[in-house]
Amino acid sequence: MIDMDDLLSIAGKSYHSRLLVGTGKYRDFAETRAAVEVSGAQIVTVAIRRTNIGQHPNEPNLLDVLPPEKFTLLPNTAGCYTAMDAVRTLRLARELLDGHSLVKLEVLGDQQTLFPDVVATLEAAKLLVKEDFQVMVYTSDDPIVARQLEDIGCVAIMPLASLIGSGMGILNPWNLQIIIENAHVPVLVDAGVGTASDATIAMELGCDGVLMNSAIAGARNPTLMAQAMRKAVEAGREAYLAGRMPRKTYQASPSSPTEGMLDTLEIPIIK
Protein backbone atom coordinates (compact mmCIF):
# COMPACT_ATOMS: atom_id res chain seq x y z
CA MET A 1 0.00 0.00 0.00
CA ILE A 2 1.35 3.46 -0.90
CA ASP A 3 2.26 5.68 2.06
CA MET A 4 0.05 8.69 1.38
CA ASP A 5 2.32 10.87 3.50
CA ASP A 6 5.40 10.14 1.41
CA LEU A 7 5.15 13.13 -0.88
CA LEU A 8 7.40 14.58 -3.51
CA SER A 9 7.83 18.24 -2.71
CA ILE A 10 8.94 20.63 -5.45
CA ALA A 11 8.97 24.41 -5.13
CA GLY A 12 6.53 24.35 -2.25
CA LYS A 13 3.97 22.01 -3.83
CA SER A 14 3.51 18.33 -2.93
CA TYR A 15 2.74 15.39 -5.17
CA HIS A 16 1.82 11.76 -4.50
CA SER A 17 3.27 10.60 -7.80
CA ARG A 18 7.01 10.53 -8.29
CA LEU A 19 6.68 9.72 -11.97
CA LEU A 20 6.80 12.71 -14.30
CA VAL A 21 6.01 12.16 -17.94
CA GLY A 22 6.59 13.85 -21.25
CA THR A 23 3.87 14.47 -23.81
CA GLY A 24 5.75 14.09 -27.09
CA LYS A 25 6.06 11.20 -29.55
CA TYR A 26 2.50 9.90 -29.15
CA ARG A 27 0.27 9.16 -32.13
CA ASP A 28 -2.19 11.87 -31.12
CA PHE A 29 -3.41 13.80 -28.09
CA ALA A 30 -5.90 11.04 -27.23
CA GLU A 31 -3.06 8.54 -26.84
CA THR A 32 -1.07 11.10 -24.84
CA ARG A 33 -3.99 11.61 -22.51
CA ALA A 34 -4.61 7.87 -22.03
CA ALA A 35 -0.96 7.16 -21.19
CA VAL A 36 -0.65 10.12 -18.82
CA GLU A 37 -3.85 9.10 -17.00
CA VAL A 38 -2.69 5.52 -16.48
CA SER A 39 0.80 6.61 -15.38
CA GLY A 40 -0.70 8.45 -12.45
CA ALA A 41 1.67 11.35 -13.17
CA GLN A 42 0.67 14.69 -11.72
CA ILE A 43 3.42 16.66 -13.43
CA VAL A 44 3.57 16.57 -17.22
CA THR A 45 6.23 18.25 -19.26
CA VAL A 46 5.47 20.05 -22.50
CA ALA A 47 7.95 21.07 -25.20
CA ILE A 48 6.91 24.66 -25.83
CA ARG A 49 8.58 24.80 -29.23
CA ARG A 50 6.88 21.65 -30.45
CA THR A 51 3.50 21.40 -28.76
CA ASN A 52 0.53 23.68 -29.13
CA ILE A 53 -0.66 25.07 -25.82
CA GLY A 54 -2.24 28.13 -27.38
CA GLN A 55 0.46 29.45 -29.71
CA HIS A 56 -1.69 28.31 -32.67
CA PRO A 57 -5.31 29.10 -31.78
CA ASN A 58 -6.87 27.10 -34.64
CA GLU A 59 -5.01 23.84 -34.01
CA PRO A 60 -5.62 21.07 -31.45
CA ASN A 61 -4.47 22.24 -28.04
CA LEU A 62 -2.79 19.89 -25.55
CA LEU A 63 -4.45 21.75 -22.69
CA ASP A 64 -7.83 20.47 -23.89
CA VAL A 65 -6.77 16.91 -23.00
CA LEU A 66 -4.44 17.74 -20.10
CA PRO A 67 -6.14 20.64 -18.33
CA PRO A 68 -3.89 22.72 -16.03
CA GLU A 69 -6.53 22.43 -13.28
CA LYS A 70 -5.80 18.71 -13.13
CA PHE A 71 -2.09 18.46 -14.01
CA THR A 72 0.91 20.57 -13.11
CA LEU A 73 2.31 21.58 -16.47
CA LEU A 74 6.04 21.75 -16.78
CA PRO A 75 6.95 23.77 -19.88
CA ASN A 76 10.33 22.69 -21.20
CA THR A 77 12.87 24.06 -23.63
CA ALA A 78 13.40 20.97 -25.79
CA GLY A 79 15.06 21.99 -29.04
CA CYS A 80 16.93 24.98 -27.55
CA TYR A 81 20.66 25.14 -28.17
CA THR A 82 21.51 28.51 -26.61
CA ALA A 83 20.83 30.03 -23.22
CA MET A 84 18.88 32.92 -24.75
CA ASP A 85 16.68 30.59 -26.85
CA ALA A 86 15.77 28.73 -23.69
CA VAL A 87 15.06 31.88 -21.71
CA ARG A 88 12.87 33.34 -24.48
CA THR A 89 10.98 30.06 -24.82
CA LEU A 90 10.15 30.01 -21.12
CA ARG A 91 9.10 33.64 -21.14
CA LEU A 92 6.62 32.71 -23.88
CA ALA A 93 5.42 29.75 -21.79
CA ARG A 94 4.84 32.03 -18.83
CA GLU A 95 2.75 34.33 -20.99
CA LEU A 96 0.71 31.47 -22.46
CA LEU A 97 0.12 29.93 -19.04
CA ASP A 98 -0.90 33.05 -17.12
CA GLY A 99 2.25 33.64 -15.14
CA HIS A 100 3.06 29.97 -14.46
CA SER A 101 6.62 29.86 -13.14
CA LEU A 102 7.59 26.16 -12.68
CA VAL A 103 9.64 25.19 -15.72
CA LYS A 104 12.09 22.62 -16.99
CA LEU A 105 15.24 24.06 -18.46
CA GLU A 106 17.30 22.14 -20.94
CA VAL A 107 19.94 23.62 -23.21
CA LEU A 108 21.28 21.05 -25.60
CA GLY A 109 24.85 20.85 -26.82
CA ASP A 110 24.45 19.19 -30.19
CA GLN A 111 21.83 17.56 -32.34
CA GLN A 112 23.52 14.20 -32.47
CA THR A 113 23.89 13.37 -28.78
CA LEU A 114 21.38 15.84 -27.31
CA PHE A 115 23.80 16.09 -24.39
CA PRO A 116 23.20 19.16 -22.27
CA ASP A 117 25.49 22.13 -22.83
CA VAL A 118 26.23 22.62 -19.16
CA VAL A 119 27.91 26.03 -19.57
CA ALA A 120 24.87 27.41 -21.41
CA THR A 121 22.58 25.64 -18.94
CA LEU A 122 24.26 27.41 -16.01
CA GLU A 123 23.98 30.74 -17.81
CA ALA A 124 20.27 30.26 -18.59
CA ALA A 125 19.54 29.02 -15.06
CA LYS A 126 21.04 32.22 -13.58
CA LEU A 127 18.89 34.42 -15.83
CA LEU A 128 15.71 32.46 -15.16
CA VAL A 129 16.15 32.38 -11.39
CA LYS A 130 16.69 36.16 -11.48
CA GLU A 131 13.35 36.44 -13.34
CA ASP A 132 11.61 34.42 -10.57
CA PHE A 133 11.16 31.22 -12.53
CA GLN A 134 11.23 28.03 -10.49
CA VAL A 135 13.72 26.03 -12.47
CA MET A 136 13.91 22.26 -12.68
CA VAL A 137 17.01 21.63 -14.68
CA TYR A 138 18.12 18.88 -17.03
CA THR A 139 21.84 18.27 -16.76
CA SER A 140 24.63 15.76 -17.13
CA ASP A 141 25.43 13.32 -14.32
CA ASP A 142 28.33 15.52 -13.20
CA PRO A 143 28.09 16.13 -9.43
CA ILE A 144 29.95 19.45 -9.61
CA VAL A 145 27.60 20.91 -12.20
CA ALA A 146 24.66 19.60 -10.18
CA ARG A 147 25.94 21.45 -7.11
CA GLN A 148 26.47 24.65 -9.09
CA LEU A 149 22.91 24.50 -10.44
CA GLU A 150 21.60 24.05 -6.93
CA ASP A 151 23.71 26.99 -5.70
CA ILE A 152 22.20 29.18 -8.42
CA GLY A 153 18.76 28.41 -7.00
CA CYS A 154 17.31 25.65 -9.19
CA VAL A 155 14.44 23.89 -7.41
CA ALA A 156 15.24 20.40 -8.75
CA ILE A 157 18.23 18.77 -10.41
CA MET A 158 17.52 16.36 -13.24
CA PRO A 159 20.58 14.41 -14.32
CA LEU A 160 20.31 12.15 -17.35
CA ALA A 161 20.32 8.39 -16.99
CA SER A 162 21.60 8.12 -20.58
CA LEU A 163 21.02 9.90 -23.89
CA ILE A 164 17.54 11.30 -24.49
CA GLY A 165 15.43 8.78 -26.34
CA SER A 166 18.08 6.06 -26.17
CA GLY A 167 16.33 3.87 -23.61
CA MET A 168 19.73 2.67 -22.42
CA GLY A 169 18.93 3.01 -18.72
CA ILE A 170 21.22 4.29 -16.00
CA LEU A 171 24.80 4.39 -17.25
CA ASN A 172 26.44 5.83 -14.16
CA PRO A 173 24.67 4.94 -10.91
CA TRP A 174 27.76 5.96 -8.93
CA ASN A 175 27.67 9.55 -10.12
CA LEU A 176 23.94 9.69 -9.50
CA GLN A 177 24.54 8.49 -5.98
CA ILE A 178 27.02 11.31 -5.32
CA ILE A 179 24.56 13.85 -6.71
CA ILE A 180 21.76 12.47 -4.52
CA GLU A 181 23.89 12.39 -1.38
CA ASN A 182 24.95 16.00 -1.75
CA ALA A 183 21.73 17.60 -2.97
CA HIS A 184 19.42 19.68 -0.81
CA VAL A 185 16.74 19.87 -3.50
CA PRO A 186 14.95 16.97 -5.21
CA VAL A 187 16.96 14.93 -7.70
CA LEU A 188 15.00 13.34 -10.54
CA VAL A 189 16.45 11.17 -13.24
CA ASP A 190 15.50 12.55 -16.64
CA ALA A 191 16.10 10.93 -20.01
CA GLY A 192 17.30 7.51 -21.08
CA VAL A 193 14.94 5.31 -19.11
CA GLY A 194 14.06 2.36 -21.32
CA THR A 195 11.99 0.00 -19.26
CA ALA A 196 10.45 -0.46 -15.84
CA SER A 197 13.54 -1.84 -14.11
CA ASP A 198 15.49 1.33 -15.04
CA ALA A 199 12.93 3.43 -13.20
CA THR A 200 13.04 1.12 -10.21
CA ILE A 201 16.83 1.29 -10.03
CA ALA A 202 16.71 5.10 -10.13
CA MET A 203 14.29 5.14 -7.22
CA GLU A 204 16.24 2.50 -5.28
CA LEU A 205 19.30 4.71 -5.59
CA GLY A 206 17.36 7.40 -3.74
CA CYS A 207 16.17 9.60 -6.58
CA ASP A 208 13.15 11.66 -5.62
CA GLY A 209 11.47 10.96 -8.93
CA VAL A 210 11.87 9.97 -12.56
CA LEU A 211 10.93 11.84 -15.71
CA MET A 212 10.46 9.90 -18.92
CA ASN A 213 8.89 10.17 -22.31
CA SER A 214 10.23 7.79 -24.95
CA ALA A 215 9.99 4.61 -22.87
CA ILE A 216 6.22 5.04 -22.62
CA ALA A 217 5.45 6.73 -25.95
CA GLY A 218 7.71 4.33 -27.85
CA ALA A 219 6.38 1.14 -26.29
CA ARG A 220 4.25 -1.20 -28.39
CA ASN A 221 1.47 -0.59 -25.89
CA PRO A 222 2.02 2.85 -24.35
CA THR A 223 -0.76 2.67 -21.77
CA LEU A 224 0.40 -0.72 -20.51
CA MET A 225 3.97 0.61 -20.23
CA ALA A 226 2.64 3.69 -18.42
CA GLN A 227 1.07 1.39 -15.88
CA ALA A 228 4.29 -0.61 -15.53
CA MET A 229 6.26 2.60 -14.98
CA ARG A 230 3.87 3.79 -12.29
CA LYS A 231 4.35 0.49 -10.42
CA ALA A 232 8.10 0.50 -11.03
CA VAL A 233 8.55 3.95 -9.53
CA GLU A 234 6.40 3.03 -6.55
CA ALA A 235 8.26 -0.26 -6.02
CA GLY A 236 11.64 1.44 -6.23
CA ARG A 237 10.59 4.10 -3.76
CA GLU A 238 9.29 1.50 -1.30
CA ALA A 239 12.47 -0.55 -1.59
CA TYR A 240 14.53 2.58 -0.96
CA LEU A 241 12.49 3.50 2.11
CA ALA A 242 12.55 -0.09 3.38
CA GLY A 243 16.35 -0.15 3.15
CA ARG A 244 17.95 -3.07 1.38
CA MET A 245 19.72 -5.85 3.27
CA PRO A 246 23.39 -5.12 3.98
CA ARG A 247 25.67 -5.86 1.04
CA LYS A 248 29.24 -5.56 2.30
CA THR A 249 31.31 -8.23 0.62
CA TYR A 250 30.49 -10.84 -1.98
CA GLN A 251 30.42 -13.77 0.37
CA ALA A 252 27.99 -16.65 0.69
CA SER A 253 26.13 -17.20 3.94
CA PRO A 254 24.38 -20.58 4.53
CA SER A 255 20.63 -20.38 4.81
CA SER A 256 20.43 -23.24 7.33
CA PRO A 257 22.54 -23.78 10.48
CA THR A 258 25.76 -25.72 9.98
CA GLU A 259 26.21 -26.89 13.60
CA GLY A 260 25.18 -30.44 14.37
CA MET A 261 25.25 -31.57 10.77
CA LEU A 262 25.91 -35.29 10.11
CA ASP A 263 29.56 -36.11 9.30
CA THR A 264 30.09 -36.70 5.61
CA LEU A 265 31.56 -40.03 4.50
CA GLU A 266 35.32 -39.96 4.25
CA ILE A 267 36.25 -39.83 0.60
CA PRO A 268 39.46 -41.65 -0.23
CA ILE A 269 42.09 -39.55 -1.96
CA ILE A 270 42.86 -40.92 -5.39
CA LYS A 271 46.50 -40.55 -6.34
Ligand X SMILES: CC(=O)[C@@H](O)[C@H](O)COP(=O)(O)O
Catalytic residue among 13, 25, 104, 271: 104
Please give the span between the terminal C-alpha atoms of the chain, in angstroms, as a whole number: 62
Measured CA to CA in angstroms, residue 180 lies from 90, 141, 183 at distances of 27, 10, 5
When the beta carbons of 28 and 248 are compared against ligand X, the nearer one is: 28
Which residue number places its CB atom closest to ligand X? 214
> What minimum distance in Å lies between the beta carbon of 40 and ligand X?
17
Measured CA to CA in angstroms, residue 213 lies from 55, 164, 208, 229, 235 at distances of 22, 9, 17, 11, 19
- Name the site residues for ligand X (rule: CB under 6 A): 22, 45, 76, 78, 106, 138, 164-165, 190-193, 211-215
When the beta carbons of 78 and 183 are compared against ligand X, the nearer one is: 78
| Binding positions for 1-deoxy-D-xylulose 5-phosphate | 165, 191-192, 213-214
> What minimum distance in Å lies between the beta carbon of 107 and ligand X?
10
Q: Residue 104 catalytic? A: yes
> What minimum distance in Å lies between the beta carbon of 247 and ligand X?
29
> What minimum distance in Å lies between the beta carbon of 25 and ligand X?
7
When the beta carbons of 17 and 213 are compared against ligand X, the nearer one is: 213
When the beta carbons of 143 and 192 are compared against ligand X, the nearer one is: 192
Residues with catalytic roles: 104
